[in-house]
Amino acid sequence: MKFPLIISALLAISLKVLCSATPLEDRPNILWLTSEDNNVAWIGCYGNPNAETPHIDQLAREGFKYTNAYASAPVCAPSRSTWITGINAISMGTHPMRSRHEIPHDQIAYYPDLLRANGYYVGNDSKTDYNIGGRKDSDCWDNPKKVNWEALKNNQPFLQVINMKESHESRAQGAVDSTKHDPAQTTLRAYHPDLPEMRQNYALYHDAVKRMDAKIGAALKTLEASGLSDNTIVIYNSDHGGVLPRSKRFLFSSGLHCPLIIRIPEKYKSIWPADRPGSEVDRLVSFVDMPKTWLSLTSTPIPDTMQGTTFLGASTEPEPSYCFSFRGRMDERNENARSVTDGHYLYIRNYMPYTPWMQKLNYLWKMRATQVWVEHVESGNASEVEARFFSPKGWTEELYDTRKDPDNINNLIDSPEYQPILARMRVGLREWQMSIYDAGLLPESESIKRAADNNMTIYEMVRDPELYNLPALLEAADLALLEEPARLPELRELLNSTDSGIRYWAMVGCFLLNDVESAESALADSSHEVRAMAAWLLVNNGQKDKGLNALKAMLSEKSYATLKILNIVDWIGDDAAPLIPFIKQLKLEDYEARMQLSLAERFKNN
């Protein structure tokens, strides 16, 4: 970690600021109010008649309500990793949940660093969760603890973040039989079964959002009482979508579409995004745009490393055609997907179509709504839509008309009339993946290993074409996911590549085509990810003992891909039962231990 280099860079920025920037007294304060885990559907001014959010609704009347704001990731740590750097987490290798992979801190400053160099006082009350190793989350803030309003008055201009925990997923857990909100006054998603406890869980979360709204109101009241309102831009948004099952962690609208409201005082009328307060703003806004925009609003130089688009102020850039989002590993469960939206259509590309959307995840399964949904499906009483999400996806691609189908249940991917839309969104995704150096085309364990073997961060590794041939990886993934038998010879040829990532995608393609011959040879591959997929394929095709023994051998060797192997054991299902006694004896930690516990619960009798 080379903080002296960061300091040198910031000093250079400071000198530039002193020579050319707007005087300090003319720069706005920023109060950034963030809530956790709630999508737009939980907020009254976004159209939910059952929501009780009077303070946020009033803020919308006084400010500007953005109708097309989308999280870069549908879960907190990757989302906040993107926020603090202004760089998509999928571009840095910090997209897997709570991975804390390092980035080159001598090249990437956090946006509060830049504000401080520009004369701003910066405070954060108090959530960080930046998912980045090599630096303490708190050290970029002047005050990383509870907001000190007196300090804000005496240290203007300032940027102060206040995070509202009341709407976090944990507030939707626990008993659901005693709520202030009436369970009858709820609007269920089309994929949720209409069960009493499902409605009660909705009501419980309405209660939580109401408490969150009260905290928003209290912060705004204190701002006013402190005499700071007239020169403070107030921003409110959630950190991603959620929170009932199949929202948080998922690349559907319910996991990504977020409230964003910005109140701008009369003093800064010149930067209003519409003619008058109370207006709606339809511009596409991605979360990766926010740090860059806050720097622009404060006349702070923006480093070239930042991605995204400035969406507000004198230096507003043209509206992009799309917002892009990504999903990697969520806690103990492996997953890999991308999404694109233009505000009307949502396109999702699944890089693991062989897994269910709703994989059992310890934290998500604590919610009563999840439990009763699972019970309903297992009882055989669920509709096709209600049951769908617990089975392997089968779909490599999904396309939804979010205006006609806000719950994203009618996949239009095969509809002839939507093929032009599908084609342009595919192109948009590929161009974006190339432009931001999509780091998710290697399995996480392979990325960690390759970066470590070359003594560099994942961020640096994916920017070296000799170490990370992104065009070739994308082409190999595309070929694998076609599932075309006629392309099998090409996949077999790719299994001879010197690049473990190319071989991984070739093995995925062979897996999807049930090519047993390839699996037998791949059991000797140096990549544990390739070996694990090959072993699974053998289990699926009558060579159960051979496949399970291969998985057991890697676990015995403390494989660098242990978490993925444990996930595969779960995906295999009942045929994996002979491995469970051995797995129960392993000494594992963190997410590997969570998967171990999950497998022990699933196979109680083994």
pLDDT tens digits, 121-169: 999 999 999 999 999 999 999 999 999 999 999 999 999 999 999 999 9
Residue 268 gets which letter from DSSP? G
H runs (alpha helix) in 483-515: 488-494, 500-512
Cα–Cα dist 426/348, whole Å: 9
Around Cβ 211, how many Cβ atoms within 10 Å? Answer: 15
Q: Is residue 247 part of a domain?
A: yes
The pTM of the full predicted model, rounded to 2 decimals, is 0.96
Q: What is the tens place of the pLDDT at every residue in 551-585?
A: 999 999 999 999 999 999 999 999 999 999 999 99
Task: Give me the pLDDT at residue 19, please.
Answer: 40
Residue 65, domain CATH: 3.40.720.10
Model confidence at 8: pLDDT above 70: no
Rg (CA), the chain: 25
- According to DSSP, residue 139 is labeled G
Range of the domain at 109: 3-312
The pLDDT tens digits of the residues spanning 70-90 come to 999 999 999 999 999 999 999
Instruction: Read off the pLDDT of residues 516-538 as tens digits, 9 standing for 90 and up.
Output: 999 999 999 999 999 999 999 99
Task: Indicate whether 428 belongs to any domain.
Answer: no
Residue range 256-284: mean pLDDT, rounded: 98
Is 44 inside any structural domain?
yes
Tell me: pLDDT of 10 over 70.
Answer: no
* Cα distance between residue 477 and residue 473, in whole Å: 6
Task: Convert the pLDDT of each residue in 373-393 to its tens digit.
Answer: 999 999 999 999 999 999 999
What average pLDDT score do residues 300-325 get? 98
% residues pLDDT > 70 (the chain): 97
CB-based burial, 436-459: b 16+ in 10 Å, e otherwise: bbbbbbbbbbbbbbbbeeeebbbb
- 402-435 pLDDT, tens per residue? 999 999 999 999 999 999 999 999 999 999 999 9
Average model confidence (pLDDT) for the chain?
A: 96
Residue from 523, 601, 598 nearest 563 by CA? 598
Instruction: Say if residue 384 is exposed, middle or buried (CB neighbours under 10 Å; 0-12, 13-18, 19+).
Output: exposed
pLDDT of 14 reads 47
Residue carrying the six token digits 């956090």: 110
User: Which tokens sit at 92?
Assistant: 């840095």
Long-range contacts of 595-598 (CB under 8 A, 24+ apart): 595/332, 595/563, 595/566, 595/567, 595/570, 596/566, 597/362, 598/332, 598/360, 598/362, 598/570
Whether residue 450 lies inside any domain: the answer is no
Whether 171 is covered by a domain: the verdict is: yes
For residue 7, is pLDDT > 70? Answer: no
In this predicted structure, what is the pLDDT of residue 564?
98
C-alpha distances in angstroms, 349 versus 92, 405, 429, 517?
20, 18, 9, 28
Structure tokens of 443? 């399995």
Q: How far apart are CA 288 and CA 314, in angstroms?
A: 19
pLDDT of 515 strictly over 90: yes
Examine residue 432 and state whether it is found in any structural domain, yes or no: no
Query: If pLDDT is split at 50, 70 and 90, which confidence band does 25 have?
Result: confident
Please report the pLDDT score of residue 2 as a whole number: 45
Q: What CATH number has the domain bearing residue 537? A: 1.25.10.10
Tell me which of 251, 281, 312 is where a domain ends: 312
DSSP 8-class letter at 246: S
CB 86 within 8 A of CB 291: yes
Tell me the CA distances in angstroms from 514 to 335, 407, 483, 537, 541, one per residue in order.
Answer: 21, 33, 10, 7, 8
The domain boundary residue, chosen from 312, 331, 359: 312
User: Does 334 map to a domain?
Assistant: no
Cβ atoms of 295 and 302 closer than 8 Å:
yes
**pLDDT value at position 6?**
54
- End-to-end CA gap in the chain: 47
pLDDT (0 to 100) of residue 579: 98
Q: What is the pLDDT of residue 574?
A: 97
Residue at which a domain ends, from 312, 346, 374: 312
Identify the pLDDT of residue 1: 42
Q: What is the mean pLDDT of residues 389-400?
A: 98
Number of structural domains in the chain: 2
